[in-house]
Amino acid sequence: MLQAPCHDSLQVHPAGYDPATAPKVKKLEPIDRAAQDYYDTYWKDYWKRLHEKYATKAASKAQD
The answer to whether 17 and 4 have CB atoms below 8 angstroms apart is no
d(Cα 64, Cα 57) in Å, to the nearest integer?
Answer: 11
Per the domain annotation, does 6 fall within a domain?
no
Q: Look up residue 44 and give its amino acid.
A: K
* Total domains present in the chain: 1
- Band of the pLDDT at 63, cuts 50, 70, 90? low
**pLDDT value at residue 13:** 79
Higher pLDDT: 57 or 35? It is: 35
Per the domain annotation, does 7 fall within a domain?
no
Per the domain annotation, does 30 fall within a domain?
yes
Per the domain annotation, does 59 fall within a domain?
yes
Per the domain annotation, does 58 fall within a domain?
yes
Region 45-52: mean pLDDT is 89
Per the domain annotation, does 53 fall within a domain?
yes
Per the domain annotation, does 37 fall within a domain?
yes
**pLDDT value at residue 62:** 66
The pTM is what? 0.39
- Domain range for 58 is 24-63
Can you give the C-alpha Rg of the chain in angstroms? 24
